[in-house]
């Protein structure tokens, strides 16, 4: 969770505070660690994502831009190697179920996630009925944004799903997350309904898009200065 302070975005203090009276958050031997500023920003509304991007002179990618990146880079590793819902998630789900059986109320790990409106509520398998894949990347929640260095685009699939926006204004969610159910496909932009467009989700963040020069700065300077006498006498 994040706060805006003037022209700065900072971690909300309450995000890092442990809940009072809760001692068994995870199964024995599992320690996902505390969130930090290195982790992806999530639970952000589309309007807040737009504002954040604008502060940096950027914008949200369009669905077409995101899908073009997916087509080019997603095949660098099998889909099962991205940070998706897996065995670590299943262990947490079983732990929460045991807490409920013992009279302790805890959120299941799919609490607050994004569900496409096209999947009707009665068809969604949630909580103790949630479906989990067999793979295990060892990550329960979200990995730091720079932890995926062996891929051209970090965490293009998994980790957090991403907000994208059409030039005409429509907002979508794409990419799936570490918490997404298998019914949510990574290469399908899901439109946000009117109610969804003003709320944040526990597993949805965003990626920044911006225009970059075709040539690197060094190449531009070399072309600009070639053939020119730029000798300056000592002291000038």
Q: What is the pLDDT of residues 123-161, one digit of tens each?
A: 999 888 988 877 788 888 898 888 877 777 888 888 999
Residue 233 has pLDDT above 90, yes or no: no
Q: What is the reported pTM?
A: 0.80
**pLDDT (0 to 100) of residue 9:** 60
d(CA 166, CA 230): 47
Average pLDDT over residues 73-77: 74
209: which DSSP letter?
Answer: B
Domain, as residue range, for 101: 2-15+33-212
Higher pLDDT, 74 or 207: 207
Instruction: Indicate whether 21 belongs to any domain.
Output: no
pLDDT digits (tens, 9 = 90+) for 37-72: 888 888 889 999 999 899 888 999 999 999 999 988
What's the pLDDT band for 236 if we cut at 50, 70, 90?
very low
Instruction: Indicate whether 225 belongs to any domain.
Output: no
Instruction: Indicate whether 229 belongs to any domain.
Output: no
Instruction: Indicate whether 170 belongs to any domain.
Output: yes
The H or E element spanning position 49 is helix 46-55
Average pLDDT over residues 162-169: 94
Instruction: Indicate whether 186 belongs to any domain.
Output: yes
- Give the total number of structural domains in the chain: 1
Average pLDDT over residues 206-232: 66
Q: How many helices (H) and strands (E) does the chain have?
A: 4, 6
Which of 98-112, 188-202, 203-217 bottoms out in mean pLDDT, i.e. has the lowest?
A: 203-217
Closest CA relative to residue 97, chosen from 33, 31, 32, 27: 27
Instruction: Indicate whether 230 belongs to any domain.
Output: no
Say which residues have a Cβ less than 8 Å from residue 102's Cβ, sequence separation at least 6: none
């Amino acid at each position: 969770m994040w706060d805006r302070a003037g022209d700065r975005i900072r971690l909300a203090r309450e995000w890092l505070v442990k809940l009072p009276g809760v001692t068994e958050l995870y199964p024995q031997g599992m320690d996902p660690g505390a969130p930090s500023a290195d982790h992806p920003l999530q639970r952000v509304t589309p309007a807040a994502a737009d504002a954040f991007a604008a502060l940096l002179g950027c914008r949200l990618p369009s669905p077409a831009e995101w899908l073009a990146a997916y087509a080019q880079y997603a095949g660098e590793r099998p889909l099962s190697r991205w940070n998706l819902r897996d065995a670590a998630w299943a262990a947490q789900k079983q732990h929460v179920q045991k807490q409920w059986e013992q009279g302790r109320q805890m959120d299941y790990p799919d609490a607050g996630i994004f569900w496409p409106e096209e999947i009707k509520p009665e068809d969604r398998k949630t909580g103790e009925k949630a479906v989990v894949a067999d793979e295990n990347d060892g990550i329960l929640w979200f990995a730091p944004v720079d932890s995926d260095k062996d891929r051209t685009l970090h965490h293009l699939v998994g980790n957090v799903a991403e907000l994208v926006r059409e030039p005409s204004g429509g907002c979508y969610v794409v990419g799936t997350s570490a918490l997404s159910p298998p019914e949510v496909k990574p290469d399908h932009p899901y439109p946000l309904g009117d109610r969804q467009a003003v709320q944040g989700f526990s597993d949805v963040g965003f990626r920044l898009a911006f225009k970059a020069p075709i040539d690197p700065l060094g190449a531009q300077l070399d072309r600009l200065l070639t053939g020119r006498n730029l000798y300056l006498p000592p002291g000038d």
